[in-house]
Chains A and B, each alone.
Chain A
Amino acid sequence: MTRAHDMGGRFGDGPVVPEPQDVMFHADWHPRALALTLACGSLGLWNIDVSRHARECLAPMDYARFAYYEKWIAALADLLVRTGALSADELASGRADGGSDLASKRLEAGAVAGVLAKGGPADRPGTVTPRFAPGDVVRLRKMPENMMVNGGHTRLPAYAAGAPGRILRLHGTHVLPDSNAHRLGEAAEPLYAVVLRAGDIWAHPEHPGDEVILDLWDSYLELP
């Protein structure tokens, strides 16, 4: 089954509440949680797919009740302990128990702007020939699950799984999250924008000709 984060198409969430453009955070700890998470990323202990998966691995009850940045901070604490950067005792006591071998990797204030500007591109030199070209008709994999790791990370949403689609464009060759989230290698694959018709994914579409477009890796796709 899917995890709590995979909520596209879910019913019952109520209205979307627009906000003025100048509202960025709703509490002082929100920007702190954001910054703490970004700064810890520089320690090099995980990649973006590992960190997304850590948030998705929160218990469904926690995922649902936690505010957005609460999910971030909980997943960050989990990752820091799982990778050995902090001990469970340190989290429990709130005090550091000695220094860390990783201190040399600490993100310094003067390096912040450069690190954020540098980014972390996900495209890789292409070694796999794309199976599909723009215009091709495909079918999305039936199971919205990681095919290598039971309960693992995937970026195939449940609402789209099994649907017919059409290749819109080839984005290039990109790191495969299903592998990278589990430290099984980047396993880069061709990545496509794939068009789905609303009438093919919803029983009661607002307009059957409306479209949803997803970015999907080669191994998420099958011949129709």
Chain B
Amino acid sequence: MPHDHSDHDHPHGLLPPDPALRVRALETILTEKGLIDPAALDEIIDVYENRIGPRNGAAVVARAWTDPAFRAALLEDADPVLAGLGYYGRQGEHMVVVENTEAVHNMVVCTLCSCYPWPLLGIPPGWYKSDAYRARAVREPRKVLAEFGVTLPEGCAVRVWDSTAEIRYLVLPRRPDGTSGMDADALAARVTRDCMIGCGLAVSP
């Protein structure tokens, strides 16, 4: 049986303890070594700060609300549908879309780390990565929802999806009442990041 030595091997302690200095020290060494291009780091940050984020997911949700064939295809097999829209990439290679209804409310967590559908929602928010959310979402999802101001109607079951593999989940929230005349852009503006994780509801007019 192979033995795992990693418990006894933590060279990170050789770096400065302050995290900002730690990151800078590592970047400096790696740059000098020719292993990192600082401009590539700027580019990665720009992608996730400015180009990939919850607007992508909101556009998908709004289209699903207005286009029944699109919605059916999305729920049946999301990958080809999303790839066709250009929403593919790191941490979104295998997507499943789950639909909230009157009877079922879906909610997504990663109890073991912080798995999240990056191409559709961007980088996860701090609370999604927090110990409190990771620990509690599976045991007491209704209490967690209450902390987001969400109370479910009587008789609505909760389904919590723990992202333990490379499948990433997007919640298709319920379309708010009073939005029947709205076009896809106006609808997308009502779709928050939190409601696509299942910790919110789409915003009513």
**Contacts from A to B (Cβ < 8 Å):** 5-11, 13-19, 21, 23-29, 31-36, 38-40, 43, 48, 52-55, 57-59, 62, 64, 67-70, 73-78, 80-82, 85-86, 88, 90-92, 94-96, 99-100, 102-103, 106-109, 111-113, 115-123, 148-152, 155-157, 159-160, 171-172, 174-175, 177, 182, 184, 191, 193, 202, 206-207, 209-217
Contacts and interface: CB of A to CB of B under 8 A. Distances in A.
A52 B6 CA distance: 13
Interface in B2-34: 2-4, 6-7, 9-12, 14-16, 19-20, 22-30, 32-34
B23 A152 contact: no
A64 B135 CA distance: 13
Nearest to B166: A122
A136 to B, nearest CB: 18
Nearest to A15: B147
A182 B54 CA distance: 34
Contact of B34 (A38, A67, A106): A106
Interface centre among B94, B122, B141 (most CB of A within 10 A): B94
B133 interface: yes
Contacts of B4: 57, 149-152, 182
Given A155-B165, A206-B140, A214-B162, A96 B135 contact: no
Contact of A211 (B22, B33, B157): B157
Contacts of A6: 111-112
A81 B131 CA distance: 28
Interface in B117-134: 122-123, 125-127, 129-134
Contacts of B109: 8
A43 B35 contact: yes
Given A31-B45, A73-B22, A106-B35, A120 B123 contact: no
Interface of B: 1-4, 6-7, 9-12, 14-16, 19-20, 22-30, 32-37, 39-45, 47-49, 52, 54, 88-94, 96, 109, 111-114, 122-123, 125-127, 129-144, 147-148, 157-167, 192-194, 199
B44 A206 contact: no
B135 A7 contact: yes
Nearest to B16: A94
Contacts of A102: 35
A109 B12 contact: no
B125 A148 contact: no
Given A13-B131, A75-B12, A213-B162, A8 B112 contact: yes
Contacts of A16: 127, 130, 132-133, 136, 144, 147-148
A216 B89 contact: no
B48 A117 contact: no
Contact of A206 (B27, B90, B94, B142): B142
B30 A213 contact: no
